[in-house]
Amino acid sequence: MKNKRTCESYTTLSILLISSLFIATVLPGRATGKIEPVGTPIEAVQFDAVIELNRYVPRSDRHDYTIMFARYWVASDYYTAALVWAEPQSSDLYFALYPPGLSVTGNTQSFEVYHGLYPKHSHTYERPLGERGVLRHKLGGYPIGNIRFADREALAERIYAHDLSNLKDANQLSEGMPDPPIQSVDRDESRDVARLKMLSNGENIASMKLFNAEQRLLKDISYEYESRGDRSFLRKQTVFLPERPMIVGFNSEGMKVTLDGKEFRYKDLEVTHHAGGRTCTIEYEQVSLGDKEVTLPVHVTVRNGKDGNVLRSVRMMNFRQVDLDVDDAKEAARKFSAVSADRSQYEQLHKKYWKKTTLEIEKADIETIEQLWSRFDKAATTADNIGEKLKCLNVLIQLDSILGDHNELERHYKSYLSTLADNKLDWMTLVGGYGVIEKLMYAERHAVAKILLNVWIHTLLDMHENDEILLFARQQLAKKRLWTTAVLLELFSNKEHYNIEARFEAQVLRCAALAELNKLPRADDIAKKGRIAEVQSDWITPIGKKNLDKMLAESTNRAKNFFASVADPTESQKVLNTQLTKIEQEIRQEKKQRSD
């Protein structure tokens, strides 16, 4: 009997043991009580990124759009990033310095900025990196070395798993529960986060608010997960970054304000950073790296929290596991963003011949240019990175124009536009496509620029919706790119498949462009107005004043006819019509002045 009971006890014990083992092996996530979302440990990862940057100017149609092509190498204790190319290759490129050639590396010891083309920007900063202090730069100036403070701030706002070590599982994160304490981190210089407020979805963290010591909200994060079987994976983070105060300061003695006879002087001012707040969305996907499935960020979009305008975004792709330490990664980054021997040779030849005709090229150089051309042409087809390909195509366009090979020039230009479109960079076909033409105008290659203008416009009209073309036209006019915009708008309004309203707006904008071109000073005085005005003058000089007047008259008539066909004009169309009337009055006045 006793033996039977002992046997039963052993059986029960065995069942219990087997059950425990089953739970421990089959449901590891739940058994360990790990608080999600946390990462999956991987040695090091390499990936490519396409970064899009937008800048809007308040109360203006002016808009700056820049794309940077980068490669990153990241491990848990270091990261390095290198920029291989940027678009547009024109004066519209809006960044703190010329991006290609720049690389940055951060590890536990130091932060390094390196620029292969401009060594004066290269610098290594030992940790601790220190505080940002007062921002004393104006009008878009921002020294690249200041990027180190973004590193310090990111680490200071990081939340570590051991911050939540007091929590056994996510169920403890419910309303009314005390906030998890923030523990000190030895490896960090300091921590900006003083308090966390978290909520759970029963299994993982659903939302998290981070506060600093003054109880100011630093960020408000909500997480979305996707369930697969018994596991859930992070799919999206939506983060709100509120407005925050920032101290800016004058380098001089400051700003004087006299009020009621009393004088006040301010050297430093408190302004609002992240005006309107920032809403950031980060999308995640499962990526296979070696034998692991890793949840990685693939797309980030940052919008202005008030008007919803996209301020910047990044697409991350081509992830692969690598076995590199920080020095190897730094070397790889420098090599990736370095100026190759071919590129250096091209720069020298471009400098020598950019304004010369084909007949003026020395015989020996013709051979060198042709050899370079072949190598870049091959590299453009084999490039494994969009930035690399665009870099080659930009060089080829310049070499084609130096060699006077119009067929190849057209082929490479079309390839440049299609490369942008194929990679979902449609807006750059407008901005960058124009940039190539303007660069040729600067080089006084007017005939070639005219050929590409025709190719560009026909490509745009096939590729873009009418509202995109009109928006771009307004942005170009705000930058005083008058003639090319006038040509674009004429061909746009000739397209009968666009609606009357759009064609009316196009003609009014064209009238405005032509009227401004009419006001340009004579060729002798144009230099004082700047390079863009000079280019406008170069475009219209062969056309002549009389023909320009005729074009303007025709354009105003067409606009009036379009307006007459608009069944029920909206307020904005009425405003456009008023602008048209004003332009007509100006034309009449000018004619009268001329006849007097």
Partner 1 sequence: MQDLNSSIRMLFNPVGILLITILLIVFATVVYSGRTSQADRWRKIPVSNVQKERIARQIATGYGGGPFKPSLDMKEHVDFFLTPAFLVQEAISDDVIITYPTE
The residues in 143-162 that bind partner 1, with binding defined as CB under 8 A, are: 144, 146-147, 149-151, 153-154, 157-162
Q: What is the gyration radius of the CA atoms in the chain, in angstroms? A: 30
Question: Least distance in Å: CB of 280 to partner 1?
Answer: 6
Pick the binder of partner 1 from 29, 297, 305, 404 (CB under 8 A).
297
Characterize 100-134 residue by residue with b for buried, 16 or more Cβ atoms within 10 angstroms of its Cβ, and e for exposed.
Answer: bbbbbbbbeeebbbbbbbeeebeeebebebeeeee
Query: Shortest distance, CB of residue 202 to partner 1, whole angstroms?
Result: 17
* DSSP SS3 for 90: coil
Choose between 217 and 553: whose C-beta lies nearer to partner 1: 217
Residue 29 is a binding residue for partner 1 (CB under 8 A): no
For the bound state, the minimum distance from the C-beta of residue 539 to partner 1, rounded and expressed in Å, comes to: 29
Beta bridge pairs of residue 143? none
Nearest-angstrom CA–CA distance, 20 and 122: 58
255 touches partner 1 by CB under 8 A: yes
Q: Shortest Cβ distance from residue 77 to partner 1 (Å)?
A: 9
| Smallest separation, CB 516 to partner 1 (Å) | 25
CB of 73 or CB of 434, closer to partner 1 = 73
- Angle at which helices 571-595 and 500-518 pack, to 10 degrees? 30
Task: Note whether 113 and 145 are within 8 A (CB).
Answer: yes
Q: Does 302 bind partner 1 (CB under 8 A)?
A: yes
Q: Which helix (H) or strand (E) holds 475?
A: helix 466-478
Residue 45 touching partner 1 (CB under 8 A)? yes
| Least distance CB 330 / partner 1 (angstroms) | 13
Which residue among 173, 294, 477, 514 contacts partner 1 (CB under 8 A)?
294
The piece of 280-288, 343-351, 372-380, 499-507 that touches partner 1 (CB under 8 A) is 280-288
Of 296-304, 444-452, 472-480, 548-556, which part binds partner 1 (CB under 8 A)? Answer: 296-304
**Judged by CB, which is closer to partner 1: 66, or 485?**
66
| 118 near partner 1, judged by CB under 8 A | no
Selected binder of partner 1 within 84, 93, 129, 282 (CB under 8 A): 282
DSSP string across 337-404:
HSPPHHHHHHHHHHHHHTTS-GGGS-HHHHHHHHHHHHHHHHHHHH-SSHHHHHHHHHHHHHHHHHHT
Asked whether 469 and 510 are in contact (CB, 8 A), the reply is: no
47 makes contact with partner 1 (CB under 8 A): yes
- Residue 254 or residue 569: which is nearer to partner 1 going by CB? 254
- Residue 325 in the binding site for partner 1 (CB under 8 A): no
Find the length of the chain: 596
How many degrees, rounded to 5, is the angle at CA 400 between CA 395 and CA 401? 100
Closest CB 107 distance from partner 1, rounded Å: 11
Any contact of residue 164 with partner 1 (CB under 8 A)?
yes
Q: Which is nearer to partner 1, 224 or 444 (CB)?
A: 224
Interface pattern 184-213 for partner 1 (x via CB under 8 A):
---------------------x--x-x---
Q: Which of 1, 175, 214, 259 is in the footprint of partner 1 by CB under 8 A? A: 259
Given candidates 123, 231, 273, 474, which one binds partner 1 under the rule CB under 8 A?
Answer: 273
Stretch that binds partner 1, among 9-17, 90-98, 455-463, 506-514 (CB under 8 A): 90-98
| Residue of the chain from 29, 30, 62, 75 that contacts partner 1 (CB under 8 A) | 75
Stretch that binds partner 1, among 14-22, 241-249, 388-396, 542-550 (CB under 8 A): 241-249
Neighbours of 305 (CB within 10 A): 17
Q: Does 455 bind partner 1 (CB under 8 A)?
A: no
Q: x/- site string to partner 1, residues 211 to 240, per CB under 8 A? A: -------xx-x------------x--x-x-
Q: How far apart are CA 579 and CA 59, in angstroms?
A: 18
- Residue 311 as a binder of partner 1 (CB under 8 A): the answer is yes
* b/e per residue 500-516 (b: at least 16 CB within 10 A): bbbbbbbbbbbbbbbbb
What are the residues whose beta carbons fall under 8 Å from the beta carbon of 102, sequence distance 6 or more? 82, 83, 113, 114, 115, 116, 121, 144, 337
CA 380, distance to chain mean position in Å, is 23
Q: What's the rounded Cα separation, in Å, for the pair 576 and 518?
A: 20
Around Cβ 362, how many Cβ atoms within 10 Å?
10
Tokens encoding 513: 């462009």
CA diameter of the chain: 131
Residue 113 as a binder of partner 1 (CB under 8 A): the answer is no
Shortest distance, position 245 Cβ to partner 1, whole Å:
11
Pairing type for strands 110-115 and 102-107 reads antiparallel
Residue of 63, 65, 69, 70 that binds partner 1 (CB under 8 A): 70
Choose which of 63, 65, 67, 68 interacts with partner 1 (CB under 8 A).
Answer: 68
Range in contact with partner 1 (rule: CB under 8 A) among 39-47, 117-125, 345-353, 565-573: 39-47
Annotate 441-472 with b (16+ C-beta within 10 A) or e (fewer). bbbebeebbebbbebbbebbbebbebeebbbb
Identify the residue among 79, 353, 376, 563 touching partner 1 (CB under 8 A). 79
For partner 1, the binding residue among 17, 26, 269, 339 (CB under 8 A) is 269
Q: For residue 233, how many other CB atoms are within 10 A of its CB?
A: 16
Q: Which SS3 state, helix, strand or coil, does residue 499 take?
A: coil
Q: Name which position in 4, 41, 228, 542 contacts partner 1 (CB under 8 A).
A: 41
For partner 1, which residue of 2, 3, 126, 141 counts as binding (CB under 8 A)? 141
Q: Looking at this protein, which amino acid is placed at residue 488?
A: L
Chain residues 536-575 in contact with partner 1, contact rule CB under 8 A: none
Contact between 74 and partner 1 (CB under 8 A)? yes
271 counts as binding partner 1 under rule CB under 8 A:
yes
Rounded to a whole number of angstroms, the minimum distance from the CB of residue 574 to partner 1 is 32
Size of the site for partner 1 (CB under 8 A): 90
Cis link prior to 128 (omega < 30° from 0)? yes
